């Protein structure tokens, strides 16, 4: 395993799960239900593919609604015993899980690299980030407190307590296969909930590795379950997780379209819902900004995971007086710093699958046909493989272009001129979604004005990297409901119960 610092190593070209298992102790080819490694009831499997070269790196169970029902029942049976544990007991178990995650961080990062296509250093960064949620919620488990309310009558006393909601269904995306699970499962388990985790079909191996370490930490059977499926079975399984009367909450990270569907399906049972959906993040550079810092922030925000993050900067709004200077600086920085390829020095990987590449290229070609100017890139990096796309910089972007209106989810920078703060805010807020937004300014009064005026759930002010465990992560408008991380994250998995005591 020596020398694996990018997705193009020799290991990634080996195509059987047997070889992976021989080199990595945490790779599993079965799902995890009720504390046991299981196949699908119908015996079906599906391929897990390495995005770097398209090779098959293994197979996992292709489960369906019957398997999902079994996992839900397992979590339901385990709920009352788990909920009756003390906060200290849950805290200790989560801490043991965190310690094991830390002990195995390099292997976890290798697994993320293989199935998600991230360069190893970036995968390792995700693992550090993801592990921190388990550490955080191991501590937050002991801080789930109630309150005493002032009674309006002498004959009674009033207090509020928090209790776990029950079984939580966690549906997670492929772009952060480690951190999106730990951010949800850490909070759910700390609150006293049990969970059924459905990872994305592109990245199931990371989820199964996390389950193995949770089991090794001593988390009881049935408390954490991982079910896997192909894209074909994902929709009916998701529907069951939403509609089963044994499931009391759903947390989903993914596209707005799918989130709306799951929201509708949860309505039949009035489920607790937490949704972290798509964004269309503006990145505004005002004329008072430090351009070097703005370019550095743009690089950090835009090119993490090859632009495939929900908080990735999407629309670059640049004051017309500094537009040319900013674009030139960004162009030079992109040419200097972005290393796309399969050697150990690369820092930009492939897109997750072919359909995503086609989508990104369609957005770029639409812009070109409508008059946009390509300064860098502009098409697939065919010499690297069928899922690689060149880091791209385009200008002369107009309102009728797809890139002006929709989330790109790829390594494409679309630059738009504006004349005033009011115009920048109008463009930034003219979208049905509102997850993250960024802006650079040297005017403190403007920082306050714009920070409050942006219609998003999270704002980076002179900062391109806003994600951390302590932050309340989530959006407004069609970007979602609820918050993850921070002390607010645990609230999604608890109910407030009011106790009224009559004086004895």
**pTM value surpassing 0.85:** yes
Which domains are seen in the chain, by residue range?
26-277+481-496 (3.40.605.10), 282-469 (3.40.309.10)
Spatial distance between the Cα atoms of 449 and 445, rounded to a whole number of angstroms? 6
User: 84 exposed, middle or buried (CB, 10 Å; 0-12, 13-18, 19+)?
Assistant: exposed
Say which DSSP state 29 is in: S
> What CA–CA distance (Å, rounded) separates 87 from 109?
30
> In sequence order, what are the residues at sequence separation of 6 or more whose Cβ sits closer than 8 angstroms to the Cβ of residue 445?
none
Taking the C-alpha atoms of residue 408 and residue 363, their distance in angstroms, rounded to an integer, is 7
Cβ atoms of 404 and 386 within 8 Å: the answer is no
What number of other Cβ atoms are within 10 A of residue 382's Cβ?
A: 10
pLDDT at 24: 79
Q: What angle do CA 330, 417, 255 make, to 5 degrees?
A: 75
- The answer to whether the beta carbons of residues 501 and 488 sit under 8 Å apart is no
Instruction: Choose, from 115, 135, 276, 492, the residue flagged as catalytic.
Output: 276
Query: Which residues neighbour 39 within 8 Å (Cβ) at sequence distance 6 or greater?
Result: 30, 31, 45, 61
Three-state SS for 414? strand
**Residue 386 falls in the annotated catalytic set:** no
* Structure-token match 């030079």, residue found: 332
pLDDT of the chain along its 504 residues, tens only?
333 234 333 333 444 444 454 467 999 999 999 999 999 999 999 999 999 999 999 999 999 999 999 999 999 999 999 999 999 999 999 999 999 999 999 999 999 999 999 999 999 999 999 999 999 999 999 999 999 999 999 999 999 999 999 999 999 999 999 999 999 999 999 999 999 999 999 999 999 999 999 999 999 999 999 999 999 999 999 999 999 999 999 999 999 999 999 999 999 999 999 999 999 999 999 999 999 999 999 999 999 999 999 999 999 999 999 999 999 999 999 999 999 987 777 899 999 999 999 999 999 999 999 999 999 999 999 999 999 999 999 999 999 999 999 999 999 999 999 999 999 999 999 999 999 999 999 999 999 999 999 999 999 999 999 999 999 999 999 999 999 999 999 999 999 999 999 986
The two tokens of residue 74 are 């397992």
CA angle (76 as vertex; 74, 82 as ends), nearest 5: 100
Tokens of 487: 């002390």
pLDDT of residue 343: 73
């Amino acid at each position: 395993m020596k020398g694996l610092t990018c997705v193009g190593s020799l290991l990634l070209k080996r195509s059987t799960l047997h070889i992976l298992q021989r080199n990595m102790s945490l790779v599993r080819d079965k799902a995890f239900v009720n504390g046991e490694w299981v196949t699908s009831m119908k015996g079906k499997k599906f391929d897990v593919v390495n995005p770097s070269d398209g090779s098959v790196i293994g197979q996992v169970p292709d489960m369906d609604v019957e398997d999902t029902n079994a996992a839900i029942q397992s979590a339901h049976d385990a709920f009352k015993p788990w909920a009756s544990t003390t906060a200290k007991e849950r805290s200790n178990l989560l801490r043991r899980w965190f310690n094991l995650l830390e002990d195995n961080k390099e292997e976890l990062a290798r697994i993320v690299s293989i199935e998600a296509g991230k360069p190893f250093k970036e995968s390792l960064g995700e693992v550090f980030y993801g592990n921190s949620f388990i550490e955080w919620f191991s501590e937050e488990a002991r801080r789930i407190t109630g309150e005493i309310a002032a009674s309006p009558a002498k004959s009674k006393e009033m207090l509020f307590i928090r209790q776990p909601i029950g079984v939580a269904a966690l549906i997670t995306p492929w772009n952060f296969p480690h951190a999106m699970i730990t951010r949800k499962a850490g909070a759910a388990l700390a609150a006293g909930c049990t969970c059924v985790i459905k990872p994305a079909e592109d990245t199931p191996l990371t989820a199964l590795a996390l389950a193995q370490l949770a089991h090794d930490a001593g988390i009881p059977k049935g408390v954490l379950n991982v079910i896997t499926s192909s894209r074909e079975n994902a929709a009916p399984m998701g529907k069951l997780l939403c509609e089963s009367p044994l499931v009391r909450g759903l947390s989903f990270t993914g596209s707005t379209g799918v989130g709306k569907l799951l929201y509708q399906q949860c309505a039949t049972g009035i489920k607790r819902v937490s949704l972290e959906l798509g964004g269309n993040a503006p990145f505004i550079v005002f004329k008072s900004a430090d351009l070097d810092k703005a370019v550095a922030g743009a690089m950090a925000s835009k090119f993490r995971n090859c632009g495939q993050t929900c908080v990735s900067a999407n629309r670059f709004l640049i004051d017309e007086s500094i537009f040319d200077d900013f674009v030139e600086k960004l162009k030079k920085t992109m040419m200097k710093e972005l290393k796309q390829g399969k050697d150990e020095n690369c820092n930009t990987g492939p897109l997750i699958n072919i359909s995503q590449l086609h989508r990104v290229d369609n957005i770029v070609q639409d812009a070109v046909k409508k008059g946009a100017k390509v300064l860098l890139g502009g098409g697939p990096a065919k010499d690297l493989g069928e899922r690689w796309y060149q880091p791209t910089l385009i200008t002369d972007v107009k309102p009728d272009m797809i890139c002006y209106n929709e989330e790109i989810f790829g390594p494409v920078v679309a630059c738009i001129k504006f004349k005033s703060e009011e115009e920048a805010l109008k463009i930034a807020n003219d979208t049905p979604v509102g997850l993250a937004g960024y802006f650079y300014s040297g005017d403190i009064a403007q920082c306050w004005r714009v920070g409050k005026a942006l219609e998003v759930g999270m704002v980076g002010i002179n900062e391109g990297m806003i994600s951390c465990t302590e932050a309340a992560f989530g959006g407004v408008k069609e970007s979602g409901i609820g918050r993850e991380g921070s002390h607010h994250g645990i609230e999604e998995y608890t109910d407030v119960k009011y106790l009224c005591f009559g004086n004895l």
